[in-house]
Amino acid sequence: MQKYLFLLCFFCTENLYMFIGSHKTMSKMYYLIRENLLQISSFT
């Protein structure tokens, strides 16, 4: 389940990066996703 969530987040981030094409946005999204993943992993 965790692996699936990670892949989903990664896929969405990749698409957002392609769509926006901004490194600043990419790093911000990556940071948010990483925070969420840490919360999820500590939650389960």
Question: What does the DSSP assignment read for the chain?
Answer: -HHHHHHHHHHHHHHHHHHH--HHHHHHHHHHHHHHHHHHHHH-
Q: Is the distance from CB of 37 to CB of 9 less than 8 angstroms?
A: yes
For the segment 3-40, what is each residue's pLDDT rounded down to a tens digit? 887 777 778 777 776 766 666 776 787 888 888 888 87
**In the prediction, which pLDDT does 14 show?**
76
pTM, two decimal places: 0.38
**In the prediction, which pLDDT does 40 show?**
74
